[in-house]
A and B are shown apart, each in its own frame.
Chain A
């Protein structure tokens, strides 16, 4: 394995950690000292060099370890990756988008050579070399969506668009914040968001759906979402809830800085050219509290966000139980000083 990538685990001994460089580029999701739902969508345009926005699909030091973790999840539960039959074309769209982006943005790691429909893909970090015929699934070891998302960080769902609605009809979901693809596949936009509290009454989903139905090819958008996770567990699935649920009860003032993680989802949305489907990559970034508090502005702000969040939201995000412990820990880093607007670390 290349020195570019960490040797680490997201289960068992949890050796996951962020380097100083990874902490510096962490996508801190709070632009101000409080949090409430919003559509908060912005164009997914290239950002600063070195930031998670630099490229269309960010590949970071956790890449190889995350892909190994995904393979383990799929070996234990193949239902985490499903495609309804009419979604294969969207899978090819996605494969093309990712392969072209990665070969362009990370030529030291990925290569794509095309001779008509005869494609040759090289993924050096995962030591994969594949010659295949574009649009012929029999020439790949998996369907196109599964093939490429086994090599790409983040969860992915594919939405078909019809009847003025979006239908979640394919997905690769192994790093999810407690929702089940197997249960939700086939649902409309408002159906799969049904369990989210408060946001329906705020018309968040009406507005988001209206916006997304008009999403244009070549003009992707992005937003953040976030939650809290005990230990660096990527697979916080409802399927495995009995396995990871008890970890929430074992937190102490001594361990919380080390074991509690802020979990940030960088969600992007891209219109796909042939299928007219929308792909929704949900990229998960984890950071330990003790890593996060090395940035004074983030420590102050996270304390204020957690302190002021409505209990209903803390319950939905699954951290109400440990909120007092979190506040005790974070309060020591909040000197009451004002924070500057925006995400940046100052």
Chain B
């Protein structure tokens, strides 16, 4: 699996690295879809062998159907949990973060929306943004906040797209809010109502 190559972007968009074993008393992994491969790659490293007994993996299949539950289960970490969606895992994740002791290492892997939501929850729990290691894998589909109605649409592949809340046609900016864990969507035909260009699949 090749790691994602990103085009140069504006400065509000986060950049992502490669997960590497951290030194700490406990290790929390959150991954979606192909993000499982980044977790498996980390555990393939010799120095990660000792981490397994102190590791907790929370995993959800990708919106594209990619489900690598079996690969992660085979790692044999202390705790493995498969959630059907990020939303369903959120209260569990918040509890783990609230219960965390000094030295907890946090790793997020998969789509940008997943990683940003993990980082936002960690920040809400009082951890710095930099405390979360991130590695992008899989889909480039975006999580987009409609600047007009404030609703968030998940897994946006098309540009422009219809806001799943208010229905306006939105173009997707590269401007990214870590607090909202979302890109910004702005009405494309605000000046010329009805003149909406054909959608293209920009985020595969």
Contact = CB atoms under 8 A, between A and B. Distances in A.
Nearest to A200: B11
Given A239-B147, A242-B168, A183 B192 contact: no
A79 B12 contact: no
Contacts of B145: 183
B153 interface: no
B168 A187 contact: no
A321 B191 contact: yes
Nearest to B178: A186
B175 A183 contact: yes
B86 to A, nearest CB: 20
A257 B178 CA distance: 42
Interface in A285-332: 321
Contacts of A184: 177
A76 to B, nearest CB: 12
Contacts of B191: 245-246, 248-249, 321
| A contact residues, range | 20 to 34
Given A185-B179, A238-B186, A79 B150 contact: yes
B179 A242 contact: no
B65 interface: no
B184 interface: yes
| B contact residues, range | 20 to 34
A163 to B, nearest CB: 9
Contacts, number: 69
B143 to A, nearest CB: 13
Contact of A195 (B147, B173, B187, B193): B173
A217 interface: no
B174 to A, nearest CB: 8
Interface string A233-274: 000001111100110110000000000000000000000000
A114 interface: no
A248 to B, nearest CB: 5
Nearest to A241: B190
B101 to A, nearest CB: 24
B148 interface: yes
Interface in A119-173: none
Nearest to A185: B179
A195 B177 contact: no
A242 B187 contact: yes
A183 B187 contact: no
Contacts of B173: 195
Given A183-B175, A241-B187, 6 more contacts: A187-B179, A192-B12, A194-B176, A195-B173, A241-B186, A242-B148
The 10 closest A-B pairs by CB, nearest first: A245-B190, A194-B12, A186-B179, A194-B10, A245-B191, A191-B12, A194-B11, A241-B190, A242-B190, A190-B11
13 contacts: A79-B150, A183-B147, A183-B175, A186-B178, A191-B12, A191-B178, A194-B13, A194-B174, A195-B173, A238-B186, A239-B148, A241-B148, A241-B190
